[in-house]
């Protein structure tokens, strides 16, 4: 069993707030992240797949193909987007690092595992240099 990781990058805007809460409560819970002016992050995404190496190629999966999957299902939707407003798989969800990480995993699981013998192991998402979330499914 080998683990192979592809790193990707996207820029996106978001805001942490709940419509049903007052401005005061949003500010109390989310601090500067609730500011009505949207703010952006330079996100770094790490997608790890696992399985056995194919003898003939020495590959688990061609990383060019993994890149294309990540772009089609995730990056093309998120890059230069407003996560709260523009991204179909985040509709109705809080734009936190945790939920974004989980939903990216859910987007990628089917397309990655359409490759025989390839399994999605984890998705790790850095919102800032210091803040990240990692999801292993389930």
Ligand X SMILES: Nc1nc2c(c(=O)[nH]1)N=C([C@H](O)[C@H](O)COP(=O)(O)OP(=O)(O)OP(=O)(O)O)CN2
Kindly list the residues in this chain that would bind ligand X in the complex (CB under 6 A): 16, 33, 96-98, 127-128, 130-131
Q: What is the DSSP letter of 53?
A: P
In whole angstroms, how far apart are CA 92 and each of 7, 55, 86, 89?
27, 45, 11, 9
Nearer to ligand X, 12 or 60 (CB): 12
Residues with catalytic roles = 33, 80, 127
Q: What is the DSSP letter of 133?
A: E
Taking the C-alpha atoms of residue 133 and residue 79, their distance in angstroms, rounded to an integer, is 19
Nearer to ligand X, 23 or 128 (CB): 128
Query: Which of 107, 105, 63, 69 lies closest to 88, judged by CA?
Result: 107
Nearer to ligand X, 34 or 69 (CB): 34
Question: At its nearest, how many Å lie between ligand X and the CB of residue 30?
Answer: 7
Question: At its nearest, how many Å lie between ligand X and the CB of residue 4?
Answer: 27
Question: At its nearest, how many Å lie between ligand X and the CB of residue 2?
Answer: 31
């Amino acid at each position: 069993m080998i683990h192979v990781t592809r790193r990707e990058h996207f820029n996106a805007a978001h805001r942490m707030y709940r419509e049903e809460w007052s401005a005061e409560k949003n500010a109390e819970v989310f601090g500067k992240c609730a500011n009505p002016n949207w703010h952006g992050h330079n996100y770094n995404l790490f997608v790890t797949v696992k399985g056995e190496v194919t003898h003939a190629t020495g590959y688990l999966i061609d990383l060019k193909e993994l890149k294309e999957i990540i772009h089609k299902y995730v990056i093309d939707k998120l890059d230069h987007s407003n996560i709260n407003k523009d991204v179909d798989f985040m509709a109705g969800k809080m734009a936190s690092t945790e939920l974004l990480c989980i939903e990216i995993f859910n987007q990628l699981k089917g397309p990655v595992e359409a490759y025989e013998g390839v399994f999605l192991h984890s998705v790790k998402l850095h919102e800032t240099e210091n803040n990240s979330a990692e999801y292993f499914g389930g």
